[in-house]
Amino acid sequence: MSSDINTTKMDAMVDDQPKKLHIAMFPWLAFGHIIPFLELSKLIARKGHRISFISTPRNIERLPKIPLDLAAFITFVKLPLPHLENLPENAEATMDLPHHIVPYLKIAYDSLQEPLSRFLETSTPDWIVYDFAPHWLPPIAIKLCISRAFFSVFSASCLGFFGPPAESSVMEDAIHPKGMRMEPERLTVPPKWITFPTKVAFPLFVANEVILAFFEENASGISDWFRFSKMALGSEVMAVKACMEVEGEWLKLVENLFNLPVIPVGLLPPSGEGQLVHDDHKDSAWGTIVEWLDKQEKGSVVYVAFGSESEPSQEDFKELALGLEQSGLPFFLVIRKQNLPESEDSDEQIPEGFEERIKDRGIVWWGWAPQVKILGHDSVGGYFTHCGWSSVTEAFQFGRPLIMLPMFGDQVLNGKLLEEMQTGAEVPRNEQDGSFSRESVAKTLRLVMKDAEGQIYRDKAKEMMTSFGDKQLQYRYVDKFVEFLVNHRRVMLATKG
């Protein structure tokens, strides 16, 4: 009799233990998305859950190696990307392409529907965590009884500004009512559903571009807004790369607007150099870079980089370079091939004589650079950035104030949010055409880096270290997300049973 009782107790204890999950991760084919998905995967795997990380062969090959203690928990699933006539050979990510070709990458991505369906059917994960792009995925997951989570790598303020899909909105003045032509002016002011003061909105010159890129049907046959809408409506929970300490008001707004659980997963600070895509460049580059940085005064250097995909026009790049020269500040300028307009000879993009004139106080670095290491060096005092959310996260780990030149979409909204937070200053631009001058670049650089009236930016950026730089705080957000996944799945299975 006692043996039966003990057996019953043991069974109850086993039932009380949280079940280890199998989670499939399916990011969009852009490294600004793939890397946060991978960072989130690693943190979930540290809790003992199994990850199937799904992407294309070349993208997976370009990822950093998984730490040995996690290798048993993360499996990379390679789905070959079909070749399309409009896509260059071996182009499997947005960084491999000029912007106008990206819609064709979406066509290729959509063709992964069948192989992904086969994988999900045979591997039966508990959850699939997906990006904004695979609008066809939620019905497949529902049919296979796989729980669904939408992970947004965009800031909460960006999500809050655009609001929910029109067809789910309770608001009469949704930002893009179904079937209506979007008016650019609607994007130049905060929408009415934002219940707190903010300047987060687009200047007119960007608003027109956003409508074309996000709301209008592209070569893939649908708009990105359609993709986003279907993913949001088909999800059981939305995870956001954000934290309450930075975007608390916005996160609460997003949860109200979307009418589903919205869970911040933290800012996913990079776990060492592992978050960087080396792209065949050698680590020996750091030796050359640090030798130069070590010779500079503490906090004197401006680090200048615009991510792997932002592309200043030739005229903008010229004004940027000459503004750096005019500022009189030491700088480290990173130029990736993708950062320049298409040209046979990249050297043509640099103003004549520029490198010779600045050789005593500036570096022009062609190709990949170890961004996190550079930002962490004591000689770096500020970051001239395009305001990509991942880049901002890296800068604030070290309390670096920002000189901002956002170029498109979410970058612009991020810039407005960061200006409100007084963590940096944006280079003034013409509201109609987006142009700026070398003089405005130089003035903004000196303001943020040296001038007395710019001390507020330097102080506020240092304050950001208490949230962006506290990895334990950020990891606790992932713990709460995992707890939700476990509990939700348990309730679902119990209800089904």
pLDDT tens digit string along 237-263?
Answer: 999 999 999 999 999 999 999 989 999
Bridge partners, 262 (sequence order): 238
Same domain, yes or no, for 454 and 373? yes
270, pLDDT greater than 80: no
Same domain, yes or no, for 204 and 290? no
Same domain, yes or no, for 298 and 360? yes
- Whether 9 maps to a domain, the answer reads no
| Residue-level pLDDT at 337 | 59
Mean pLDDT of 117-139: 97
| Residue-level pLDDT at 174 | 55
Tokens of 44: 């979930």
Same domain, yes or no, for 210 and 340? no
pTM: 0.89
- Whether 180 maps to a domain, the answer reads yes
Q: How far is CA 36 from CA 33, 52, 56, 149, 166, in A?
A: 6, 15, 16, 15, 28
Mean pLDDT of 438-458: 97
d(CA 294, CA 298) in angstroms, rounded, equals: 9
Q: Would you give the distance in Å from CA 450 to the centre of its chain?
A: 30
- Whether 302 maps to a domain, the answer reads yes
- Whether 6 maps to a domain, the answer reads no
Mean pLDDT of 75-104: 92
Rounded mean pLDDT of the chain?
88
Largest CA distance in the chain: 92
Same domain, yes or no, for 181 and 329? no
Same domain, yes or no, for 142 and 284? no
Containing structural domain, residue 102: 16-269+471-496
- Whether 265 maps to a domain, the answer reads yes
Tokens of 164: 């929910």
- Give catalytic residues, as residue numbers: 33, 131
Nearest to 391 by CA among 476, 447, 334, 433: 334
More confident site: 356 or 20: 20
| Residue-level pLDDT at 360 | 87
Same domain, yes or no, for 351 and 206? no
Mean pLDDT of 39-54: 97
Mean pLDDT of 76-81: 97
Same domain, yes or no, for 463 and 479? no
Same domain, yes or no, for 87 and 142? yes
- Whether 348 maps to a domain, the answer reads yes
Mean pLDDT of 366-380: 93
179, pLDDT greater than 70: no
Tally of structural domains, the chain: 2
Same domain, yes or no, for 358 and 264? no
Mean pLDDT of 187-213: 92
The domain that holds 169 is classified in CATH as 3.40.50.2000
Same domain, yes or no, for 236 and 292? no
Same domain, yes or no, for 119 and 140? yes
Please report, rounded to a whole number, the percentage of residues in the chain having pLDDT higher than 90. Answer: 70
275, pLDDT greater than 70: no
Quick one: pLDDT band at residue 283, thresholds 50, 70, 90? low
Quick one: pLDDT band at residue 494, thresholds 50, 70, 90? confident
- Whether 11 maps to a domain, the answer reads no
| Residue-level pLDDT at 30 | 94
